[in-house]
Amino acid sequence: MTSEIPVHEWGSASSDAPGVLLLQEIFGVSDYIKQRAADLHALGYYVVAPEIYWRLDNTELDESAPDLLPRAMGLVQRLDWNQAVADAVSVLEQLEARGTGTAVVGFCFGGGLGYNVAAVASPDVLVSYYGSALPRLLDLRPEAPALHHFGNDDTFLDVDAIVPALADAEVYRYDGAGHAFDNPLPMFHNPEASALAWRRTEDFLARHLPTSQG
């Protein structure tokens, strides 16, 4: 893929595989996001994960550092949201130009960003994990079939207030799971919720954007 924005790719842009725009958490294109990209590629998708922080300086994060979360929050606060949406849309448009179908999949920060992208662009499907910006985006209405995952013990999002606004989407809630429950870092991870949500994600994508491996 040719892009001014730095991107990570899994698969070949010249293939006939449907394209997935994978949008990062606040921790950037981390090992976790790269693993999810590999998981999606194994299902038969061409996956692109752009570096949304590329316009910022001093963005290196150490996931073992005790100040990981506040440092990552500081990065997000320096980010121009509208520019981030525009950057993500530009990458999506390159995927759409391939003519093989597109999905937007995002986690946490990327879940909200993906929702915004899907509302102003035209992917074929949206998968959003506990989108952190959703409370201020609910006046937007993505037209693509959408899947949302939320933990019922999320202390960052008021899930009860968000879900009624997602009436046209497929929504799942997970008891005992907090915010970012799919992230394998011990402070976040809920193995049971993560596994079930991923199975549902695979099924949703297979129904709405099947691959040759489906």
Q: What is the pLDDT of residues 23-76, one digit of tens each?
A: 999 898 999 999 999 999 999 999 999 999 998 887 787 777 787 777 878 778
What is the average pLDDT across 120-148? 97
DSSP 15-82: SSSPEEEEE-BTTBS-HHHHHHHHHHHHTT-EEEEE-TTTTSSS----TTSTTHHHHHHHHHHHS-HH
> Which tokens belong to 51?
């570096």
> Which tokens belong to 106?
């995002």
Q: Which residues of 94-111 are buried (b: 16+ CB within 10 A; e: fewer)?
A: bbbebebbbbbbbbbbbb
> What pLDDT was estimated at residue 192?
98
> What pLDDT was estimated at residue 2?
61
Confidence tier at 119 by pLDDT (50, 70, 90): very high
> Which tokens belong to 61?
């994060």
**Do residues 63 and 185 make contact, with C-beta atoms less than 8 angstroms apart?**
yes
What is the average pLDDT across 198-202? 98
Q: Flag whether pLDDT at 111 surpasses 90.
A: yes
Specify the residue for token string 């609910």. Answer: 138
Q: Flag whether pLDDT at 1 surpasses 70.
A: no
Query: What is the Cα–Cα distance from 11 to 150, expressed in whole angstroms?
Result: 29
> Which tokens belong to 211?
């691959």
Residues comprising the chain, all counted: 214
